[in-house]
Amino acid sequence: MGKVLWEDTISMMDLLMTYFKEKGANEDVSGILANVAITASLIIICFIIHIILKHIVMRILTKIIKGNKLQWDDILLKRKVIQRVILIAPGIIVYSLSPIYENVDAIRIIQRFSATYVLIVLLFVVGSLIDAIDDIYRTKPISKVRPIKGFLQIIKIVAYIIIGIVIIATLLDKSPIVLLGSIGAAAAVFSFVFKDSILGFIAGIQLTTNDMLRIGDWIEMSKYGADGDVIEITLNTVMVQNFDKTIVTIPAYSLISDSFKNWRGMKEFGGRRIKRAVYIDVNSVKFCTDEMITKFKKIIYLKEYINEKEKELREYNLKNNIDTSQKINGRRMTNIGTFRAYMLNYLKNNPGINNEKIIMVRQLAPGEHGIPIEIYAFTSDTAWINYEGVQSDIFDHILAVANEFDLRIFQAPSGYDLKNMNNDKNDSSREIN
């Protein structure tokens, strides 16, 4: 079969040369004109086939792809995978029809360059296909948990290297195996130049395998000024969009070698922690008087507590024969203890607090700023804005209600306080005089 085709191509060359000789051209000129005619014919054939594929076949494929409900073929179209595959056709045509030339050296050169053209186009096809695979994978929910962009980048680099070696081998008319043997000698240089990529690749494997990081995670890494959501995990870097919409790029291996905070656990837990204290002036702490207890009984969140506490203290004092005429004897309610009980019930009845999590109002060790009363609870909404709103409302209420328990919130004296003290001192001096 090959022999018949070869004879047909020889006859075509002879036919063209004979035609040009009949027109008055000599042997050399007729050979050149025959080669030019064949080359022009090949170019025209390639151009026509390219036009048919691009403007007819491609339009039909585009209409079919956009008309169906599949998503992956739309991504292939968007990434120009199909468009670039079409560009391979001219190279295949030239390679297949190259035997039409009579000169064996010319045939070898044409085949070599047409094969190189096909490989170069294939390089772009592979790049687009890998990008399309990443886009298709991103449409799946698992892509948030197990991003594969780093792995795909490694595959792309390896594919580029292999195709590049084959291209060079084709141009030099050498075996690719000979060139592959030289890679071992260049491994040291390669590892030095691509040190960050290698470290990033290893870090990416550790991050994904150990489920340390996902796209969409809120992470905090002060060393790099990162405090926001992870938007992309690549071979070398992790991109974080801060809440002020700035983009921070963190080396992937830094997330393994350094420490960072991942807030994913808070979101999965279903509540965001409130852990903040107000400081009570020690001098405002005292036993509750009968008038205070009577007033507290009218407070919704304290009525039941006061009744139970009064019963408990009365039984304790009677059981132990304690003389309650002196305040220091026995057990009594204090304004700060009642305040803690009020705040606990207030939190339990707050719709912004998750009642399925820990709720606690505790007193910490007194210090130079007074007695810390700490709120420890979890909001039912993990969104930052909503969390801050709930927390602010709670402490607004605490600051406003403390005075109802005859408690003073501690704060360091301001210039206004010092000025008033000075004015009071001057007024006292005038009265004496």
203 is a domain residue: no
What CATH code is carried by the domain that includes residue 252? 2.30.30.60
Which of the two residues, 267 and 179, has the higher pLDDT score?
A: 267
Tell me the pLDDT tens digit for each residue of 117-131. 899 999 999 989 988
Which of the two residues, 331 and 235, has the higher pLDDT score?
A: 331
116 is a domain residue: yes
31 lies in the same domain as 62:
yes
Which candidate, 289, 290, 282, 288, places its Cα nearest to that of 372? 282
426 is a domain residue: no
Q: How far apart are CA 25 and CA 35, in angstroms?
A: 14
Q: Which of 100, 126, 144 is the endpoint of a domain?
A: 144
289 is a domain residue: yes
pLDDT of residue 428: 58
Residues above pLDDT 90, as percent of the chain = 24
Which of the two residues, 5 and 118, has the higher pLDDT score?
A: 118
The highest-confidence range among 26-40, 117-131, 252-266, by mean pLDDT, is 117-131
pLDDT of residue 166: 84
Which candidate, 201, 231, 217, 209, places its Cα nearest to that of 261? 217
- Domain holding 316, by residue range, is 272-417
**Between the CA of residue 108 and those of 31, 113, 117, what are the distances in Å?**
18, 9, 14
| Sequential DSSP letters for 212-275 | ---TT-EEEEGGGTEEEEEEEE-SSEEEEEETTS-EEEEETTHHHHS--EETHHHHHHT-EEEE
pLDDT of residue 218: 87
pLDDT of residue 2: 40
296 is a domain residue: yes
276 is a domain residue: yes
Tell me the pLDDT tens digit for each residue of 298-351. 999 999 999 999 899 888 888 888 877 777 888 889 999 999 999 999 999 999
94 is a domain residue: yes
Please tell me the number of Cα atoms within 13 Å of 308 on its side-chain side.
7
Q: Hey, CA dihedral for 23, 26, 32, 34, is it positive or negative?
A: positive
Whether residue 278 is predicted with pLDDT greater than 90 in this model: the reply is yes
Cβ pair 346, 390 in contact under 8 A: no
393 lies in the same domain as 310:
yes
**Between the CA of residue 32 and those of 25, 96, 103, 281, 294, what are the distances in Å?**
10, 21, 11, 106, 118
221 lies in the same domain as 312:
no
Cβ pair 121, 91 in contact under 8 A: yes
124 lies in the same domain as 80:
yes
- 195 CA to centre of own chain: 23
Which residue's entry shows tokens 């209600």?
401
Which residue's entry shows tokens 């020690």?
282
pLDDT of residue 78: 86
Number of domains in the chain: 3
Cβ pair 392, 308 in contact under 8 A: no
Strand bridging mode 237-242 / 247-251: antiparallel
Where do the DSSP E strands lie in 109-246?
218-221, 226-233, 237-242
Cβ pair 134, 72 in contact under 8 A: no
pLDDT of residue 350: 93
Cβ pair 241, 231 in contact under 8 A: yes
246 lies in the same domain as 335:
no
What mean pLDDT, rounded, does the chain reach? 82
Cβ pair 334, 355 in contact under 8 A: no
Whether residue 99 is predicted with pLDDT greater than 80 in this model: the reply is no
72 is a domain residue: yes
352 lies in the same domain as 396:
yes
